[in-house]
Amino acid sequence: MPISRPVRLMIWLAACLGGGPTALGQGASTSGLLGGDVLVEGDGFGVGDVARPGETVGVRLRLTDRGDRVRAVVVRLRLRDPDGDALVVQRPITLNPGRPALVWLYAPMPPDLDRSAVFVITIHEAPDEPGGPLGPQIAVGAVTPAAVAPIESALIGVVGRRSGGLEQYDVRDDTGVPSPTANEPIVLLPGLEPEALPDRWMGLAALDALVWLEGDPGRLTADQADALTDWIRRGGRLIVALPEVGQSWTTPGNPLLGVMPAMLIERRERVDLEAYRPLLTTDDRLPLPPQATVHVFERSPRAGPGGAVPILAAPDGAAVAMRRLIGLGSVTVLGLNPASPGLTGRVDAQVFWHRLLGLRFDVRSRTEILGDTRRSFIRPVAVRIDGGIATLINKTGSAGVGVLLGLIVFAAYFLLAGPVGFAVLSRLGLRRHAWLGFMGVAALFTVIAWGGATIIKPRVTDATHISFLDGVHGRDETRVRAWFSVLLPTYGAQTVSIASDEPGLADAGPNVLWPWREPGAGERAPFPDRRDYTADARRPDTLRVPTRSTVKEFEARWLGLPRWRLPRPVGAGVTLDENNALSGALVHELPGELTNVVVLLNRGQTPLMTDRPTGGPLLANTWAWSPFGSSPWPAGQALDLGALRYRDGESGANFFESLSRGLRGVASRFEGDMLARGARAFDALTWFGALAPPEYDAQIGATAVRRASTHGLDLAHWLTQPCLIVVGTLEDAPLPMPLRVDGREPPSHGRTIVRWVYPLPPDPPRPAPAGP
């Protein structure tokens, strides 16, 4: 991307100011020149060249070496962390003279990112030996975001030129205001090319889903295919539509073949899609292709549990959407391609895509929302429900003791060195020794203050956290998303790591650890001794951070083998009979009691509709129970699912409506601190996609709930298939993932939200068969 003169000046100043060893780290030097031996060009900032604030973003650079020899270099990107120190993300690469090379760097974006942000890129000769000092700086450049999505928006990527009806999610008025029908705006990233996808899973972390409608998967490199697989295992959702002709998804040349559903494919030609209308649209005025190609699927005999789950079915019951569960995520293959020319403009996103993505809101066009008189949408009142993480992980106890001690010591010093001391000396007739007494009191309180500060000075590293722990029955992995503060009691530098030492999960991709600042909190005053520290752009699970005997906040995304025994079935498992009665028992062996326990049963999707839905109806047959009421679920105690009667619970629609109503009632008062106000905000984050949408047709008073820090934690996509979900809270428990500081695991405590999913036999909705 071209670099303007102001940006060039900023780069030159940054290079000059960062010329010393402290700025560049490891004793690197800088020329202070714009350009250099390597031409640095930005070739992408985020998936689809769109970045979301507060999220890990992949920055792709095109580097062209102007030299005359092959050389190893280190590419570095600099950004400020919340303490004012410089986080330097770096990656080694080998350059060939005159041959452009593409390289990805991954870095956390600040929560206030905008298009004016400039990130300096420097190129250095590689160290002569591993771990040695960097060689001289040989080039400098800069990148800026091409587009920045709102921090409260969801992102859906689309591979291919056509969007297959997904464009209906990204509706805006003439001023750019998004549709008021959904709680959070959806930003569509259309036209993605396989070659432009990131080569590490962190670059895909911002996506709620990736929909592949066009393009040969064989265009992916091995690193890109591994990145997609890692992203899926960590909860990503890939949806693939098979092309009508020439599909290569089930051929050996597909690098994603290993994550495809284990299924047999039948290709049906000259299919009249009129019989499939309830899957596609409720508008009977739209003609559908009378001779289309449809692929239908059958579960392979070799498929294991979760290896082939029908999600949508043809009129004869054959699957036209088949899903494979991979770790915490899934791959769904469609036999109907909504991007085919014959279906252009004929697919209703609320009818078709909602049932694949687990969404709930009315999909309406601009004209339908605005009518003929208005040009702008009525904005609902937007309230964030994930504020307050910083409040919950702040370490205020030690600071409070220190402040109280300081006040007491100062008050005593003021009295003894001032009026009280003078009055005593006057009574004893020693007023002439006032200066000597003052000096003695000052010396005494200096010793007291110094000794008190030494006594209460933190000496032990510990962590306070908020964590979400997720597991799926039958899957080996557990996923943890955590925010935590760590007391680092030394001056200098300490190594903080969440690296997993489990060889069985070596192919799960790197875990991610970044410094963190809560959105909306504002920038802190930086420390006067600003320092640099580095992160490996390919594996940012370990940081050696500057320390000043203070607390530092982090965000972590971890995948690994479970450290605790999550809820599990006792005996034969969990069953749902023909009368929809549950049977079986569950037990957990967590390090404490589970509180606020909710058991939610999804019996499957609701029947397909013939009339256009209004009011954002829930498309799942769900029922919710609080089996222990206000009491906890002790470890080792069996939960008898057969004892859960429908009369003792409530429908999922009522459960989500009550949750939504309760949130909207208090959100306006506690918006910035919702999570610190109780469990309902945590429940809402788990069921975000199922919450009742805003009453956009009420004209005034509509409220939309939003999230900024917790994208990717929603479990509502599980409502697209039958399952049992158990959610509970573990209070005052250690971190559910490894955390090491200088190689040792420190004590930790905090709140963990435990979410466990038990998939049930499939029951996909299907259109009614045609009559005789």
Give per-residue pLDDT as tens, 602-637.
999 999 998 888 889 999 999 999 999 999 999 999
pLDDT at 32: 33
- Average of per-residue pLDDT across 577-605: 95
Mean pLDDT of 463-475: 95
pLDDT band per the 50, 70, 90 thresholds, residue 415: low
Cα–Cα distance between 17 and 10 in angstroms, integer?
10
Closest to 675 measured CA to CA, from 599, 726, 624, 751? 751
Paired strand residues for 87 = 79, 533
What's the CA gap between 345 and 361, in Å, rounded?
20
Answer with the residue of higher pLDDT: 771 or 736. 736
**Percentage of the chain lying above the pLDDT 70 cut:** 85
The more confident residue out of 29 and 57 is 57
For residue 13, the model assigns a pLDDT of 46
Higher pLDDT, 423 or 302: 302
Higher pLDDT, 432 or 278: 278
* CA 90 vs CA 356, 433, 541: distances in Å: 38, 65, 13
In this prediction, residue 686 carries a pLDDT of 95
| Lowest mean pLDDT, pick from 173-182, 243-252, 427-436, 567-576 | 427-436
Buried b (16+ CB within 10 A) or exposed e, 397-426: eeeeeeeebeeeeeeebeebbeeebeeebe
pLDDT exceeds 50 at position 20: no
Better-predicted residue by pLDDT, 454 or 123: 123
Answer yes or no: is pLDDT of 506 > 60.
no
Q: How far apart are CA 40 and CA 143, in angstroms?
A: 9
Q: DSSP class of residue 770?
A: P
Position 106 pLDDT exceeds 70 = yes
Stretch 554-562: mean pLDDT: 94
Alpha-carbon span 597 to 214, nearest angstrom: 43
The number of beta carbons lying within 10 Å of the beta carbon of residue 20 is: 11
User: Which residues 6+ apart lie within 8 Å of 3 measured at CB?
Assistant: 11, 141, 142
Give pLDDT tens digits for 174-224: 888 899 999 999 999 999 999 999 999 999 999 999 999 999 999 999 999
Residue 366 has a pLDDT of 86
- Closest listed residue to residue 146, CA positions, set 58, 55, 48, 7: 48
- What pLDDT score was predicted for residue 87? 97
